[in-house]
Amino acid sequence: MKAAITERAKNLRYAIRDIVVAARQYEKRTGTRPLYLNIGDPLKYDWKTPDLMVDALCEAARQGASFYSPSDGIPELKEAAIEKERRVNGIDIDAERIIVTAGVSEAIQFLAGALVRDGAEFLLPGPAYPPYLSFVSFFGGKPITYRTIEEEDWSPDTDDLRSKITDKTVALLVINPNNPTGAVYEEKTIREIVNIAGEFDLPLITDEIYDQLTFDRPQTPTARVAKDVPVIGFNGISKVYLAPGWRVGYIYFHDQDGELNPIHDAMIRQARVRICVNAPAQYAAAAALKSRGSHLKEMMRRLRERRDLIYRRLNEIDSISTRLPQAAFYIMPKIDLQGRWKDDTEFVLDVLNSTGVVFVPGSGFCPVYGASHFRSVFLPPPETISEAMDRLEEFMEKKRT
């Protein structure tokens, strides 16, 4: 069969799930299920979707909501998103400027499809959520990572960001709270980034999917401080509302003079081609966004306990150090490789094959600023985290130089 596979498809990578291939090989070889600390899916552990959402999903299906919805989303969900953004983030948005997507990942794909052409440069934090790097590259562009400073809790280096803007730059991304580092940026930093975007007339993209999952420092919504700088925001129900498999997210366009209209048009055209997002899940998502998040207090209590545990244990292990995450459920430790491993990927594979614990190589989030790191989730129960840390500690003791 003649099937000349494109280079863009052949070279596509997604570090968080690519490591699962090696984990399955380990399980097949040993007959032992690995301890998965690689993927940010609470439902793989001891978490559950709030009952009000499950009830709303079932009721929508019973009432016949199994039709094709509008490509930009059902009105009820758009209105719920408006209400939630106003209540939680202090942002006013227009229902006509919202597109419902199959999670934030589809929003990233639509954005890259709209803005990225061959040779285009897309500025994003290093490290960053891998689909941003993957989709920018897939559409022929070049992801350019600006430094975030580990010693300052992974805060963006705005001088480095500014220095990397060229005439090929098509957009500037902020991920706040951040995946993979768990960082929450100070308002001063957000304002500096907003000013840079305005100075260079760049679309400012803000991914705030973890906006309500902060521990000690509140998140500053980018659009709330942007004033006349246009902002494209990404959000959804996967993380805060514990429904990652439902695949419901949304994009909002926040500007005063319709400067983002061409991007909105280009993205909605892609939404029409893919038809629509799961209709019953949209009704359930609307119920979630309208709720006051009664599950969040207990959710954050449990996450804090697990965060503090993994943070303490990691910093007690030889050749590993880490910063305390301020949001979400990720931690990004640094490894002192000391010539024992050529890079973080080899380290993660060695840990997997020796202990059965699955982490993600840091270079999968950025080959520069993620190198010599790995990402772990702290979603599992404390006893599972302790077991994983015991195995990692024993592994590192054996590798001590």
Greatest alpha-carbon pair distance for the chain in Å reads: 65
Q: What is the dihedral sign for C-alpha 140, 349, 378, 292?
A: positive
* Mean pLDDT of the region 256-280: 95
The conformation of residue 333, written as its DSSP 8-state character, comes to -
pLDDT at 12 over 70: no
pLDDT, position 256: 84
pLDDT, position 345: 94
Which amino acid, one-letter code, is at 324?
L
Q: Which CATH architecture has domain 51-290?
A: 3-Layer(aba) Sandwich (3.40)
Read off the pLDDT of residues 218-267 as tens digits, 9 standing for 90 and up. Answer: 999 999 999 899 999 999 999 999 999 999 999 999 998 889 999 999 99
Q: CATH classification of 7-48+295-398 is 3.90.1150.10, yes or no?
A: yes
Domain ranges (residues) in the chain: 7-48+295-398, 51-290
pLDDT bracket for residue 281 (50, 70, 90): very high
pTM of the model: 0.93
The span from the CA of 99 to the CA of 371, in Å, is: 35
**Concatenated DSSP letters for 4-24?**
---HHHHT---HHHHHHHHHH
Read off the pLDDT of residues 327-344 as tens digits, 9 standing for 90 and up. Answer: 999 999 999 999 999 999
pLDDT, position 401: 67
pLDDT bracket for residue 390 (50, 70, 90): very high
- Identify the burial level of 28 via C-beta atoms within 10 angstroms of its C-beta, where 0-12 means exposed, 13-18 middle and 19 or more buried: exposed
> Taking a C-beta distance cutoff of 8 angstroms, is the pair 268, 71 a contact?
yes
Read off the pLDDT of residues 35-54 as tens digits, 9 standing for 90 and up. Answer: 999 989 999 999 999 999 99
> Taking a C-beta distance cutoff of 8 angstroms, is the pair 43, 242 a contact?
yes
